[in-house]
């Protein structure tokens, strides 16, 4: 290869790397649920909502997201799901991610950096009910809700 071609390739790589660094967005959870929407549950009035999807007839996928005028204004968000009530602690006001960890029987996603949504979290749940907790940091403080015995299949 000629020196000119190498110079052009090097410049393209440098520009591409710089553009990627400049255009990088802050860390956010991926939405990523497929299937059929089977439920929506609001938090803190209409500040946020949990969308529940049924994927492949046996797996539920949940995303906790800000909505309407609240879009992008959260100060952290979390979502956790299981098919066992004992796996899901009651959401504590004032503590965004307490107890929100993934284990063998529950899936969780919670970070103070999330502004738009937390999740997706998935649980295999044929012939079972869902138990989930969703939290959100609002301008008034951190709030959360525990949902019990939902979307039994």
Residue 114 inside a domain? The answer is yes
What pLDDT is stored for residue 137 in this prediction?
94
Residue 65 inside a domain? The answer is yes
Number of domains in the chain: 1
Say if strands 48-55 and 36-43 run parallel, antiparallel, or are unpaired: antiparallel
Place of tokens 């089977």: 38
Residue 21 inside a domain? The answer is no
Q: How confident is the model at residue 149 (pLDDT cuts 50, 70, 90)?
A: confident
CATH of the domain at 100: 2.60.40
Report how far apart, in Å, the C-alpha atoms of 141 and of each of 46, 81, 112, 113, 122 are. Answer: 15, 23, 12, 15, 27
Report how far apart, in Å, the C-alpha atoms of 24 and of each of 18, 19, 20, 86 are. Answer: 10, 8, 6, 39
Q: Tens of pLDDT along 41-61?
A: 998 888 999 999 999 999 999
Sign of CA dihedral 100, 80, 147, 141: positive
Residue range 61-88: mean pLDDT, rounded: 94
Percent of the chain topping pLDDT 70 = 80
Residue range 132-152: mean pLDDT, rounded: 90
Residue 64 inside a domain? The answer is yes
Residue 48 inside a domain? The answer is yes
- Its pTM stands at 0.77
What pLDDT is stored for residue 43 in this prediction?
87
Residue 87 domain boundaries = 28-150
Residue 62 inside a domain? The answer is yes
């Amino acid at each position: 290869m000629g020196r000119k071609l190498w110079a052009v390739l090097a410049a393209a790589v440098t520009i591409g790397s710089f553009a990627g660094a400049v255009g990088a967005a802050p860390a956010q959870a991926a939405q990523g649920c497929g299937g059929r929407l089977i439920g929506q549950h609001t938090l803190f009035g209409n500040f946020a909502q949990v969308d529940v999807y049924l994927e492949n007839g046996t797996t539920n996928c949940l995303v906790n997201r800000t909505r309407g005028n609240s879009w992008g204004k959260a100060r952290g968000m979390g979502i956790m799901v299981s098919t066992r009530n004992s796996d899901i602690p009651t959401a504590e006001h004032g503590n965004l991610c307490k107890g929100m960890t993934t284990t063998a029987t529950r899936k969780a996603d919670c970070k103070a950096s999330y502004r738009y949504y937390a999740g997706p979290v998935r649980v295999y749940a044929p012939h079972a009910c869902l138990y989930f907790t969703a939290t959100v940091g609002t301008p008034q403080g951190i709030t959360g809700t525990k949902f019990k015995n939902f979307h039994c299949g």
